[in-house]
Amino acid sequence: MQHVKSLFLVSLLSGAFTLGGYKLFIEKSNKSIVTSAPDYALPVGLTPEGVDFTVAAEKAVHSVVHVKNVSVITYTDPWSSFFYGRNNTQQYEQIGTGSGVIISEDGYIVTNNHVIKDAKELEVTLNNNKAYKAKLIGTDSKMDIALLKIDADEKLPFIVFGNSDQIKVGEWVLAVGNPYNLNSTVTAGIVSAKARNLDKASIQSFIQTDAAVNPGNSGGALVNARGELIGINTMISSPTGSYAGYSFAVPSNITKKIIEDLVQFGNVQRGVLGVDGSELNAEASKKLGIKETEGIFVNKINKNSGAQKAGITKGDIIIKLDDKKVTNNAELSAIVNTKRPNDVIKVSLMREGKLVVVPVKLTKKELIQYEYNGIEFEDVTEEDKRTFNITSGIKIKVVTNEEFQEYAEYLKGSIVRRVDGILATNMETVSAYLAKKEEKQKTQYEIIGKNGRVYRFIL
């Protein structure tokens, strides 16, 4: 009997030490405000048989809220100044509406940046019709995500994040939001495509669905048949402004990373691979004289980037990132956008017909330099925006091309507004466009000089 007791005591102590060791050394503390669902071996809802949408809808509707944005617009009557010589300026309140998703019981809410843009006042109405003033925590305009916070007098129902990487084309999904100021409207559809890119910079990567999404659905939840959040509905493609068959959502994995950055750092920590590349297909491969028809053909390596330090060169073909297949820029962006500066990503590429795998430490966006045809560019600062009275653009840092030396001192410090007629929104937009051009092709720049005057150069 004494022997049995001793064995039991030893077993108990072993279990305690094992659990304690796991907690202390292995299990990482999770300070995230996001609750994530476990990964599943198989996706759910690939066929309508056996899918109970009521379960997913019941989970989602109570966590989706109505967001009201009160902004102030200023109107100046030009006729008063012209006829009477006085400045007749008036201010009006403008109300915009959208949806949001509660992601924690203490009142953190994710929505779209465009829903809360320029807000003077924000109000959130829950599914039980209780209304609260909301505080803006932070935004990411490039991904169209914003994070709000309300102080409620109760624990709030919140949604659990699913893994957007696991969703499949053809999988059933629900879109939940507040279109036309209606509470908790639910529509169903399927995932039409993944990694859709809708901007010239190729930094966005949307989930496309055919679930009906209308004005007011922006910022609402896209959920799978388990009721887990897999995306934030952000826009529709329509000639009329109302739903016409295509809607798009920011994947939950990207949304989660943005939220955690905003809470932890106050801004989005965006890591950069440091390559500019073009998507391969049969036509592009034939033109380049290569066999591979899938992947990203590296056209240029940015200075000081992780890709440059890892030895990636022009002509390499990126086929995988962290063992995930990459066939276009949107897929590449979807993976990189879930990472932070100094994270290491495994890049698989084809080089002269051989597979090469290199680890690349992602660079902070502000540290890399972009150069094209002997002109080095950088993003404008807030001070530049005030000085030149602009909201976007890129700055010429230095000119090294000997052909342009007579203009070099003048061009240095100037602001590029347009490149070949395309608005120079930021470095991503310009670098993605220039990467597709032939090296010796002429390029037209619309420039604001240091004297404030607008010039056009063809270089």
Question: How large a percentage of the chain has pLDDT more than 70?
Answer: 81
Is 6 inside any structural domain? Answer: no
Is 387 inside any structural domain? Answer: yes
The residue with tokens 């990203």 is 296
DSSP 243: -
Q: Binning pLDDT at 50, 70 and 90, where does residue 12 land?
A: very low
Same domain, 235 and 324: no
pLDDT digits (tens, 9 = 90+) for 91-134: 677 788 899 999 999 999 999 999 998 889 999 999 888 999 99
Is 2 inside any structural domain? Answer: no
Is 100 inside any structural domain? Answer: yes
Same domain, 382 and 439: yes
Q: Binning pLDDT at 50, 70 and 90, where does residue 257 land?
A: very high
Maximum alpha-carbon separation in the chain: 108
Q: Binning pLDDT at 50, 70 and 90, where does residue 24 land?
A: very low
Is 29 inside any structural domain? Answer: no
Q: Binning pLDDT at 50, 70 and 90, where does residue 43 land?
A: low
Domain containing residue 340: 271-366
Q: Is the pLDDT of residue 145 over 90?
A: yes
Give the CATH number, domain containing residue 308.
2.30.42.10
> Which residue intervals of 29-122 are DSSP H helices?
53-61, 78-79, 113-116
- 62-66, 192-196, 440-444: least confident range: 440-444
Q: Binning pLDDT at 50, 70 and 90, where does residue 221 land?
A: very high
Q: How far apart are CA 41 and CA 447, in angstroms?
A: 54
For the chain, the average pLDDT equals: 83
From 144, 261, 276, 316, the catalytic residue:
144
Look at residue 241 in the predicted model and tell me its pLDDT: 53
Look at residue 392 in the predicted model and tell me its pLDDT: 85
Query: What's the total number of domains in the chain?
Result: 4
- Specify burial of residue 321 (Cβ count, 10 A radius: 0-12, 13-18, 19+): buried
Q: Is the pLDDT of residue 389 over 60?
A: yes
Q: Is the pLDDT of residue 300 over 80?
A: yes
Same domain, 415 and 326: no
Is 22 inside any structural domain? Answer: no
Same domain, 356 and 442: no
From 63, 114, 247, 261, the catalytic residue:
114
> Which residue intervals of 340-451 are DSSP H helices?
382-388, 405-411, 427-434
Q: Is the pLDDT of residue 74 over 60?
A: yes
Q: Is 90 helix (H, G, I), strand (E, B) or coil?
A: strand
From 184, 218, 247, 348, the catalytic residue:
218
Look at residue 11 in the predicted model and tell me its pLDDT: 42
* Half-sphere exposure in the Cβ direction for 7 (13 Å, CA): 4
Q: Is the pLDDT of residue 169 over 90?
A: yes
Same domain, 260 and 169: yes
Look at residue 77 in the predicted model and tell me its pLDDT: 61
pLDDT digits (tens, 9 = 90+) for 418-438: 999 888 888 877 877 777 777
Same domain, 165 and 257: yes
Residue at which a domain ends, from 298, 333, 366: 366
Average pLDDT (58-67) is 92
Between strands 108-111 and 221-224, the pairing is unpaired
Torsion angle in degrees (nearest 10) through CA of 189, 190, 195, 199: -30
Same domain, 378 and 442: yes
Give the CATH number, domain containing residue 194.
2.40.10.10
Residue at which a domain ends, from 335, 366, 397: 366
Look at residue 44 in the predicted model and tell me its pLDDT: 55
Is 20 inside any structural domain? Answer: no
Q: Is the pLDDT of residue 180 over 80?
A: no
Average pLDDT (290-302) is 91
The encoded tokens of residue 78 equal 């030009």
Is 35 inside any structural domain? Answer: no
- 114 in catalytic set: yes
Q: Binning pLDDT at 50, 70 and 90, where does residue 182 land?
A: low
> Which residue intervals of 23-167 are DSSP H helices?
53-61, 78-79, 113-116
- Strand partners of residue 447: 416, 455
- 144 in catalytic set: yes
Same domain, 301 and 342: yes
Q: Is the pLDDT of residue 233 over 90?
A: yes
Cα 369 to Cα 5, 304, 376: the distances in Å are 69, 7, 7
Same domain, 314 and 384: no
pLDDT digits (tens, 9 = 90+) for 195-207: 877 665 556 789 9
Look at residue 28 in the predicted model and tell me its pLDDT: 40
Look at residue 361 in the predicted model and tell me its pLDDT: 95
The encoded tokens of residue 147 equal 């994070």
Phi then psi for residue 88, to 5 deg, are: -100, 90
Look at residue 4 in the predicted model and tell me its pLDDT: 40
Residue at which a domain ends, from 366, 390, 423: 366
- 218 in catalytic set: yes
Same domain, 254 and 173: yes
